Amino acid sequence: MTTAEAEVPATEAAAEQKSTKALIITWARRLLVVVVIAFAGYALVTKWNEVWHTLAAVAWQSSLLSQLAVMAAILFNTIAWQTIVDDLGKPIGIFRGAQICLVGGLGKYVPGSVWAYLLQMELGRKAGLPRARIFTGSLVQLGIATVASLLLGIIALPVIFAETPQALWLFALLPVGLAALHPKILTWGTSLVLKTLRRPPLDHQLKWSTIGKVLGFSLLAYAAFGSHMWLLANSVGAPGVSGLLLCIGAMAISMTAGLFAFFLPSGAGVREAVIVAVLAASGIDPVQGLAFAVASRLMFIVADVVTAGTAAAIAAFRRRTAPGARAPQAA
């Protein structure tokens, strides 16, 4: 038997082993999702009367403003994403950028948040943009947004320490994150990512102004997310104006905690646990907190679908009204 012939069974065995491992991981993730949904569903069903009573008590004006706050936050995040993507190459325009970011972002509802990045890269490729540019921009924006969330999370730190001490490890990332915002360090890190993807490094250093804009819009996004939760909670008499900052800090840190649960669809369960704990610490009954967490999740889904659908519709309309402006396919 030749060396080449001997290598064939070994290669096949390695491929089969890799395939089996991937299958086990996939089913383990699916099982975990089922367990999370089952526990959440059980809690919701057993407490449904109290949950429905809480939601029914929310004034429609508060619900509407809360929903608009979520959409505003998504808009701020989209602008932050496009700011960094535009800095990595030729500006792509707000409508095309919104379509790539928002429609691609729907992939986060599939277990394993990597699907959002893959969908964004594919939409970017169809728009004539290199996949590496889209992925790098999304990664940099996510890193800066994480720093922004930790900064605002400090507001709720005393409550988080008392109610969910297991989330405190996130704040250990803050000094590293702040240092990484320096243009030289961030440029080096971005070039390292591109090298890993076998792409050329950045041909210029990221600017303080670009990083500042992305950080600013990320802070605005988390402030809007917190206002969304405050509008719901405040409608039943708590936590009052003084609780606005607490809600902002709680939403910021809960969403970041959800990001690390990448194997769950959009961090399901993790975000809600932090929200309920912080609202309970502010004087809201845990069942009411659960109701607001459930309502918040539904409002996020509605906002994601509406904003993504609007962006896609506008992009399609612009293509129809400009038939000669067909985007080239990226290599």
- The 3-state DSSP class for residue 189 equals helix
Question: Is residue 236 included in any domain, yes or no?
Answer: yes
pLDDT band (50, 70, 90) for residue 15: low
pLDDT at 211 over 90: yes
Query: Average pLDDT, stretch 132-140?
Result: 86
Domain count, the chain: 1
Rounded to the nearest angstrom, the gap between the alpha carbon of residue 22 and the centroid of all alpha carbons in its chain is: 25
Question: Is residue 9 included in any domain, yes or no?
Answer: no
Question: Is residue 329 included in any domain, yes or no?
Answer: no
pLDDT per residue over 18-46, tens digit each?
Answer: 577 667 756 655 554 455 445 545 544 55
**Are 311 and 102 within 8 A, CB to CB?**
yes
* Top-confidence residue, 260 or 91: 91
Residue 37: predicted pLDDT: 47
| C-alpha span between 124 and 135 (Å, rounded) | 9
Query: Average pLDDT, stretch 170-178?
Result: 80
Residue 287: predicted pLDDT: 79
Query: Average pLDDT, stretch 188-194?
Result: 84
| C-alpha span between 51 and 68 (Å, rounded) | 22
pLDDT at 68 over 90: yes
Query: Average pLDDT, stretch 206-233?
Result: 93
| C-alpha span between 230 and 224 (Å, rounded) | 10
As given in the structure block, the two tokens for residue 101 are 């970011």
Q: Counting every residue, how long is the chain? A: 331
Residue 330: predicted pLDDT: 46
Question: Is residue 64 included in any domain, yes or no?
Answer: yes
Question: Is residue 6 included in any domain, yes or no?
Answer: no
Query: Average pLDDT, stretch 94-111?
Result: 80
* Structural domain boundaries enclosing 221: 22-321
Instruction: Report the alpha-carbon angle 175-113-86, nearest 5.
Output: 70
- The 3-state DSSP class for residue 181 equals coil
pLDDT per residue over 221-275, tens digit each?
Answer: 999 999 998 898 887 766 667 778 888 888 888 777 766 655 445 455 567 777 7
Residue 227: predicted pLDDT: 92
Query: Average pLDDT, stretch 89-106?
Result: 84
pLDDT at 173 over 70: yes
Question: Is residue 287 included in any domain, yes or no?
Answer: yes
pLDDT at 7 over 60: no
| Report field, pTM of the whole predicted structure over 0.95 | no
Question: Is residue 229 included in any domain, yes or no?
Answer: yes
pLDDT at 108 over 60: yes
DSSP 323: T
Residue 331: predicted pLDDT: 41
Tokens 């502010």, located at residue: 282
Residue 112: predicted pLDDT: 58
pLDDT at 71 over 80: yes
Q: What percent of the chain lies above the pLDDT cut of 70?
A: 70
Query: Average pLDDT, stretch 73-87?
Result: 93
Query: Average pLDDT, stretch 177-184?
Result: 90
How does DSSP assign 117-163, residue by residue? Answer: HHHHHHHHHHTT--HHHHHHHHHHHHHHHHHHHHHHHGGGHHHHHHH
Mean confidence (pLDDT) of the chain: 76
**Are 289 and 267 within 8 A, CB to CB?**
no
Question: Is residue 5 included in any domain, yes or no?
Answer: no
| C-alpha span between 288 and 251 (Å, rounded) | 16
- Select from 316, 330, 278 the least CA-distant residue to 98: 316
pLDDT at 160 over 70: no
Provide the Cα torsion 115, 116, 120, 121; round to 10°.
-40
DSSP 206: P
Lowest mean pLDDT among 172-176, 188-192, 262-266, 305-309: 262-266
